[in-house]
Amino acid sequence: MFVIGTAGHVDHGKSTLVTALSGINPDRLPEEKARGMTIDLGFAWMVLPNGSEVGIVDVPGHERFVKNMIAGVGGIDAVLFVVAADDGWMPQSQEHLEILELLGVSAGIIVLTKTDIASTDWVEMVEQDLRAKLAGTFLAKAPIIRTVASQSIGMPELKAEIGKLLTSISARQDKGRPRLFVDRVFTLAGKGTVVTGTLTGGSFRRGDKVGVLPLKKEYRIRSLQTHKKEMEEGRPGGRLALNLADVEKEELSRGNVLVRPGDGVLTARLAVRVKILASSPFGLKDNQQYLFILGTQEVLGYVSFFDKKELAPGVEDWAVFRLKEPVCAGYLDRFVIRLPSPGLTLGGGKVYDPVFSAPVRKESAPELETLLPETPAVWINYRLGKSFSLSTDELVKETPFGLEELQSALNQLKGQAKLQHLGGKWVRADRLEGITALLKNAIFEYQSKFPSRPGLRMAVAGKLLEISEEEGFLVCDYMVSNRGYKKQGPFISESGFEPALTDLHKKVAEKLLEQLRFERQNQSANGGDIQSEEEKEVLHFLVYSGQLVDVASDFFLPRRDFEKLIAEIKGLIQKEGKTTAARVRDVLGSSRKLVIPLLEKLDALGITRRLGDERVLAE
């Protein structure tokens, strides 16, 4: 299914043309009908001679409503570029053409309207002028169809030409990633809230849940229509009206974006390639505020350049936009930049990094240059240079590529040994090599500094490597599986490493084992205090090697004492059926300070079970 749009100066007969083609008056607002001038977007459809239906988006031509025009043409496949024979080329003819090119529209037909009120010589002169004005644009070789829409003159020829044009355009692919920029929200009696837009990237079905951005809410599709026909499924490229359940009209608006739940990226900082129109009277100034329009979203934001203070008319360069509100954007999405006041189109371009986080410095621009081939492999390589690891779903969310297309590129890069797949995450092989070298050094240095410890705690690897904790664990697992390292509980070490005490530390260990005996701690409030760093280091070893039991955070016992206490407490409960902390304190001749954590440790080990203030054996 295809959608075509109109474009052209105000009062050049765009809406009349749409009515003649479709039999539908696209002007829906009372004010539009009263004034005879389109203010907002209008929608219709026509049937071609071969029986296929084509959606039509009619846009306003007046300079005050250019924002509405941009919202309408963002999702079209081709344009009917309308010029009135009596007026010829006019200011909004030029602005609309420039907007179409900024948004990547690449096919169209030139429709010369009102040819009945101009002489043949004048019409021919206008056509020559159009050819001159359109030279070098996507409409340079487009056919010119003369029409009088009010009398249906030229309509058969125009319909035939539309049919011919659309056969040369590839239908939009279903990539399994539907996205719909909402261009209208209204309420139908007995139905509820309806949103409309042009669907791209995938399909929506009746009963599906859809995510609404930037609201981050989900709603169910109660029903959907294309050209006022109830459908089970809306396909890519078609105009779609979706009746959403359990949502009020006031909650939604033009500029919302419908996606599959969990898909789509919200961002307020984007790296872009932007071009200023050669015809613009103004350039783009660094750190100035402009209107950023993407799809039907329009947000104010500030621009920053990497190595200049201003981008002059006719010049293209890299920039970063910092938006006041987040938008749904992805790699290669097109946008338009306008002055907020007075309303004037300055330029536009493409998004290349929708989640750009680096400082805006001259050195950052060459990295963005690597994205210009615009392929899945290029995108993957770039993003995994910015983030150490990403899942397939995380990679696909920021792009226009389908899952199959991206997965194919991932598999190809893996086959070329350029990527590794670790624990559900993709990592660039060169970055993994660098990270493992850093971890190798960190483990060696840790073992040298702390020979009595079992190794580096894996939970701190991420912080040492300046990646996330989860990524730190992934790298540790990789080192164990592929580099011969060993994992012992929460620690990682070289395969041949075994923790051991120095001769000096052995003497400290003997002292600690004596100092921490239950009898000694029972006799002194400070009997178990560990003061020096040397003692703390030996303590780590004794706990790891099992010679000490960590009963609580500041309470350690030699294993022999601990096992003796377990036997005494179990014997007491077996004899009396149950016990209390006070009873254990009296039997052991100890204090509540030591008995409470001891009993809690037994509870944690599943030896005892607490019932109110009493304890019984758990087994």
Q: What are the structural domains of the chain? A: 2-167 (3.40.50.300), 179-259 (2.40.30.10), 266-369 (2.40.30.10), 517-617 (1.10.10.10)
Mean pLDDT of all residues belonging to the chain: 90
Report pLDDT digits (tens) over 119-150.
999 999 999 999 999 999 999 999 999 999 88
pLDDT surpasses 90 at 256? yes
What is the 3 state secondary structure string of 121-145? Answer: HHHHHHHHHHHHHHCCCCCCCCCEE
**Peptide bond just before 342 cis, omega within 30 deg:** yes
Which residue, 456, 451, 462, 458, is CA-closest to 501?
A: 451
- What burial class does residue 210 get, using C-beta atoms within 10 Å of its C-beta: 0-12 exposed, 13-18 middle, 19+ buried? buried
Question: Residue range 425-449: average pLDDT?
Answer: 96
Q: What is the pLDDT of residue 63?
A: 54
Distance in angstroms (rounded) separating the CA atoms of residues 32 and 22: 18
pLDDT surpasses 60 at 158? yes
Q: What is the pLDDT of residue 31?
A: 47
pLDDT surpasses 70 at 34? no
Q: What is the pLDDT of residue 525?
A: 47
What confidence category does residue 286 fall into, taking pLDDT thresholds of 50, 70 and 90?
Answer: very high
Question: Residue range 305-322: average pLDDT?
Answer: 95
pLDDT surpasses 80 at 99? yes
Distance in angstroms (rounded) separating the CA atoms of residues 425 and 462: 15
Report pLDDT digits (tens) over 557-591.
999 999 999 999 999 999 999 999 999 999 988 88
pLDDT surpasses 90 at 334? yes
What confidence category does residue 523 fall into, taking pLDDT thresholds of 50, 70 and 90?
Answer: low
Strands (E), 306-400: 310-311, 316-328, 334-339, 344-353, 389-390
Are residues 179 and 257 in contact, defined by beta-carbon separation less than 8 angstroms?
yes
Q: What is the pLDDT of residue 85?
A: 93
Q: What is the pLDDT of residue 238?
A: 86
Report pLDDT digits (tens) over 204-255.
999 999 999 999 999 999 999 988 889 999 999 888 999 999 999 999 999 9
Which pTM does this prediction carry? 0.80
Instruction: List the structure tokens of 384.
Output: 């995994």
